[in-house]
Amino acid sequence: MKLDMHFYGDPVLREQTKPVAAITDELCALADDMIETMREEKGIGLAAPQIGRSVALCVIDLPMDYDVDEEGNRFNPDVAMPMILFNPQIVESGRKTDSHEEGCLSFPDIRGNIDRPLEIKLCYLDEKGEAHERVIVDFLARVIQHEVDHLNGVLFIDRMSAAKRFALSKRLKRLSQETKNRLGIE
């Protein structure tokens, strides 16, 4: 079932999500609905606050051609898509960073370059409740950092340069106001 998207200006996007205590059937069904929603919205990642749920769950579906080097070798060969991550935590970040353009399904048509570490160590539970700790590199590391930020109430605009945020400020204000009007909040 496709779920309704929540957009910038909705307070749920700024909440710190609650960790999942147990992987229930309800949460697995939610993860499946989030995957369906992400695919219909043509996104490569979706975090629970973006569909209005303040729980520590995100899903990722990175097309394989985003995860290969020039020779066609996978950067993260042991990772299968889609990923379902419960309680994901970045426990270490590499020092090397790169800058790349990002978008976000909660900010239609708004994009900007963001600096992020190229390598992370990630801990999470999968849909069977099994714990994993793995090193993730390159673009997939970026996508995961974007989604884990959502679970902490952090949005990609927070990580843009001040100049870029200023350049976007009118559009951001308009989007936030539209969302608030729709929700009937101030």
Q: Which stretch binds Zn ion (CB under 5 A): 57-65, 80-88, 96-104, 125-133?
A: 96-104
Q: Which of 15, 102, 119, 147 is catalytic?
A: 147
Please pick, from the candidates 30, 85, 104, 118, the single residue that binds Zn ion as defined by CB under 5 A. 104
Q: Which stretch binds Zn ion (CB under 5 A): 71-79, 88-96, 102-110, 120-128?
A: 102-110
Q: Which residue is nearest to Zn ion (CB)?
A: 104
24 or 161: CB nearest Zn ion? 161
Q: How far is the CB of 145 from Zn ion (least distance, A)?
A: 11
119 a catalytic residue: no
SS (H, E, C) the chain: CCCCCCCCCCHHHHCCCECCCCCCHHHHHHHHHHHHHHHHCCCCEEEHHHHCCCECEEEECCCHHHCECCCCCECCCCCCCCEEEEEEEEEEECCCEEEEEECCCCCCCCCEEEEEECEEEEEEECCCCCEEEEEEEHHHHHHHHHHHHHHCCCCHHHHCCHHHHHHHHHHHHHHHHHHHHHHCCC
Q: How far is the CB of 13 from Zn ion (least distance, A)?
A: 9
104 or 160: CB nearest Zn ion? 104
Q: How far is the CB of 17 from Zn ion (least distance, A)?
A: 13
- The residue written with tokens 């998207």 in the block is 5
Q: How far are the Cα atoms of 37, 109, 147 from residue 120, in angstroms, in the given order?
A: 26, 28, 13
47 or 122: CB nearest Zn ion? 47
Q: Which stretch binds Zn ion (CB under 5 A): 32-40, 52-60, 97-105, 132-140?
A: 97-105
Which residues in this chain contact Zn ion in the complex, by CB under 5 A?
104
Point out the residues that are catalytic: 147
